């Protein structure tokens, strides 16, 4: 064997050994740290008696039709269709019909039903002379995958004039689980939230691929972020990755294709989280990707970030994610301006 061949064989052996070591490390970290955040204690699900496990494994859980409960002094009633709203008649009776699909922000987390953005939107549009009914199909914790199945299985029979999908960072987390706590008999969500993986290296095609495929790379980025954050608590990464991002965009495409086939108009409202302090918005790059995808699919959309984080939007948040009645009033007013041109007036 020539010197060159011996060196080539040695280099190949080193490369194979390195790849094998990385593969072993990848398998080990996947087993030891699956990157699923489990909060201490129960992740509360208010009015839990109105929920049940779903026969649809992709939905995981759903609201139980014709149930009601009281939580935090509020009544939560579920209609025969399985949503927190009034009964949905098959016939709109000549009115325009808008169906809003989403998560807890459409459900109305800890606000009366009348305070939700869809019910306030309905009142505003009627005051403008529209014969309209606006329905809310929100379920706490749902993401784009689950919302696809809601749209596929529930929407066609209602024959809406517009489907409005409420999207935000929550949609890009993995589907949460649900279980019964034996001591209380109550249902809780597990995990309640997914890990945000910051990009701590330059975002390139390679690092983007590694972020989507390698637990080892994700853990390395998390470790670097923790070190940086301890030194600089105000540090905000330039981009973040959520574990359900790719699947969410896939199912957004499926929603668009399904509604197009049904001849049902489709629009999206992008709901932000609250931006705290003067630091850059953590989900800015994710929101840009959402807008880019919506523009690529030619889906009309309303990005609510600027309005809901403006100087004039004060005291509108319950917890930095959910809104109080005043916050939903702002959203309803913005949606009125956005939606009315999409519909023909029916007086």
For the stretch 300-338, pLDDT in tens is 999 999 999 998 888 999 998 999 999 999 999 999 999
Task: For residue 145, give the nearest of 255, 297, 53, 37 by alpha carbon.
Answer: 255
Confidence of residue 296 (pLDDT cuts 50, 70, 90): very high
Residue 39 has pLDDT above 80, yes or no: no
In a domain, 104, yes or no: yes
| Number of domains present in the structure of the chain | 2
In a domain, 10, yes or no: no
Spatial contact of 67 and 49, defined as CB atoms under 8 Å apart: yes
Spatial contact of 79 and 68, defined as CB atoms under 8 Å apart: no
In a domain, 304, yes or no: yes
Residue for token pair 């319950």: 318
Same domain, 205 and 86: no
Q: Could you give the angle at the alpha carbon of 119 between the alpha carbons of 263 and 101, nearest 5°?
A: 40
Same domain, 113 and 203: no
Same domain, 158 and 230: no
Same domain, 336 and 284: yes
Spatial contact of 304 and 269, defined as CB atoms under 8 Å apart: yes
Same domain, 214 and 189: no
- Residue 211: phi, psi to the nearest 5? -60, -35
For the stretch 76-106, pLDDT in tens is 999 999 999 999 888 777 789 999 999 999 9
Same domain, 150 and 286: yes
- Residue 51: phi, psi to the nearest 5? -110, 160
How many helical (H) and strand (E) elements, i.e. helices and strands, does the chain have? 10, 13
Same domain, 90 and 218: no
d(CA 234, CA 239): 15
Same domain, 109 and 216: no
**Percent of the chain whose predicted confidence (pLDDT) is above 70:** 86
d(CA 304, CA 167): 10
Q: Single out the residue in 242, 276, 302 at which a domain terminates.
A: 242
3 state SS of 235? coil
d(CA 110, CA 73): 9
Length of the chain measured in residues: 347
d(CA 211, CA 59): 26
Spatial contact of 132 and 126, defined as CB atoms under 8 Å apart: yes
Residue 120 has pLDDT above 70, yes or no: yes
Instruction: Considering only residues 66 and 220, tell me which one the structure prediction assigns the higher pLDDT.
Output: 66
Instruction: Give Rg (Cα) of the chain.
Output: 23
For the stretch 271-282, pLDDT in tens is 999 998 778 899
The pLDDT value given to residue 264: 96
The pLDDT value given to residue 35: 63
Residues near 26 by Cβ (< 8 Å), separated by ≥ 6? 214, 215, 216
Task: For residue 172, give the nearest of 153, 135, 146, 190 by alpha carbon.
Answer: 146
Tokens, residue 347: 């007086």
Q: What domain range is 232 assigned to?
A: 196-242
Same domain, 157 and 202: no
d(CA 147, CA 51): 16
Same domain, 214 and 320: no
Residue for token pair 């003067």: 278
Same domain, 271 and 321: yes
By CB neighbour count within 10 A (0-12 exposed, 13-18 middle, 19+ buried), where does 263 fall? exposed
CATH number at residue 60: 3.40.50.1110
In a domain, 1, yes or no: no
Spatial contact of 87 and 335, defined as CB atoms under 8 Å apart: no
Mean pLDDT of the chain: 88
Same domain, 129 and 257: yes
For the stretch 209-257, pLDDT in tens is 998 888 888 888 988 998 998 898 888 898 998 888 999 999 999 999 9
């Amino acid at each position: 064997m020539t010197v060159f061949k011996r060196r080539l064989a040695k280099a190949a052996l080193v490369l194979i050994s390195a790849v094998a070591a990385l593969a072993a490390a990848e398998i080990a970290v996947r087993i030891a740290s699956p990157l699923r955040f489990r909060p201490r204690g129960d992740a509360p699900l208010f009015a839990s008696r109105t929920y049940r496990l779903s026969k649809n494994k992709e939905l995981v859980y759903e609201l139980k039709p014709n149930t009601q409960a009281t939580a935090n002094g509020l009544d939560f009633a579920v209609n025969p269709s399985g949503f927190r709203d009034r009964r949905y008649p098959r016939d709109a009776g000549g009115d325009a019909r808008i169906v809003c699909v989403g998560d807890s922000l459409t459900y109305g987390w800890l606000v009366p039903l009348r305070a939700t953005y869809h019910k306030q939107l309905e009142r505003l549009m009627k005051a403008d002379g529209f014969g309209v009914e606006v329905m809310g199909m929100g379920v706490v914790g749902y993401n784009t995958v689950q919302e696809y199945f809601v749209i596929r299985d529930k929407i066609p029979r209602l024959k809406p004039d517009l489907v409005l999908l409420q999207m935000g960072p929550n949609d890009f987390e993995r589907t949460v689980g649900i279980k019964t706590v034996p001591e209380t008999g109550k249902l809780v969500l597990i995990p309640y939230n997914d890990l945000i993986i910051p990009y701590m290296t330059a975002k390139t095609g390679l690092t983007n691929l590694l972020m989507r495929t390698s637990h080892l790379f994700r853990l390395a980025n998390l470790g670097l972020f923790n070190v940086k954050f301890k030194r600089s608590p105000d540090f905000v990464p330039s981009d973040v990755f959520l574990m359900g991002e790719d699947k969410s965009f896939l199912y957004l495409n499926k929603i668009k294709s399904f509604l197009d086939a049904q001849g049902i108009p489709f629009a999206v409202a992008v709901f932000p989280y609250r931006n705290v302090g003067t630091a850059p918005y953590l989900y800015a790059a994710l929101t840009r990707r959402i807008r880019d995808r919506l523009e690529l699919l030619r889906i009309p959309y309303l990005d609510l970030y600027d309005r809901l984080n403006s100087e004039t939007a004060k005291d509108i948040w319950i917890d930095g994610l959910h809104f109080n009645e005043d916050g939903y009033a702002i959203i309803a007013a913005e949606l009125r301006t956005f939606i009315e041109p999409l519909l023909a007036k029916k007086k």
